[in-house]
Amino acid sequence: MSESKSKLFNEEGDLVVPKAVVGRLSLYLREVQQLIRDGKETTNSTELGKLLRVTDAQVRKDLAYFGQFGHPGVGYRCQELVAAIKNIMGTNNTWNVALIGIGNLGRALLRYKGFHDQGFQIVSAFDVDEKVIGTQVEGVEVYDIQDLSEIVVEQGIRLVAISVPSHAAQTVVDQVVQAGIEGILNFAPVTISVPSKVRVIGVDLAMELEQLAFTVVNRDSKS
């Protein structure tokens, strides 16, 4: 780990940068990438703040966790800022990812092209259904889940996305951990248990809609 990145973690290996800041870092990346597509070469904290609906001071504070990126009289050079954020996020190189569970959601994830654009490539898929094992879905080979450990090593996979039924999630996670996976994106709407060395992010789409409904209801009650 580089010296700059080591400052982001405490002695126990926990991230010391607030989670909200890391979340906004991804948003800054998306907005600057769009500015580049629009033909812009530079931006500044005021413009980024307006795009994300935060203050320019918040933008500068967020980025200051990771170093100094601006230029006096210029602001941020877009290409430089994109490269710096990708380096911080670890997406300056492509990550090989495995998908476990080839149901409707799994197939939708395989069709999504945005992963590749941001440095992630789903290189293999796994299931227990003999009807799909040995086939290709959206150009990705589907393997038996029992072959996970072997394929993970062969393809240099460190991250997996799990889109399996809730009742099967923990069993699958146990297999994933045993295979040496370091990060799990969990789409199963259930809390899973993993060792401290494994990182998990849960994506519960129904919960996100609940949160959205809450904000809408409470906005209407104040109008």
Residue 151: band (very low, low, confident or very high) from pLDDT cuts 50, 70, 90: very high
Query: How many of the other CB atoms lie within 10 Å of CB of 2?
Result: 7
Q: Is the pLDDT of residue 2 over 70?
A: no
CB-count exposure of residue 176 (10 Å: 0-12, 13-18, 19+): buried
pLDDT tens, position by position, 158-187 = 999 999 999 999 999 999 999 999 999 999
**For the chain, which domains are there?**
3-89 (1.10.10.10), 95-207 (3.40.50.720)
Relative to beta strand 95-100, strand 76-77 is unpaired
pLDDT tens, position by position, 198-218 = 999 999 888 888 888 888 888
* Beta carbons of 90 and 25 less than 8 angstroms apart: no
- Per-residue pLDDT, 67: 86
* Beta carbons of 69 and 63 less than 8 angstroms apart: yes
Q: Is the pLDDT of residue 8 over 70?
A: no
Q: What is the pTM of this model?
A: 0.81
Query: Which residue, chain included where needed, has tokens 């495995």?
Result: 98
Residue 20: band (very low, low, confident or very high) from pLDDT cuts 50, 70, 90: confident
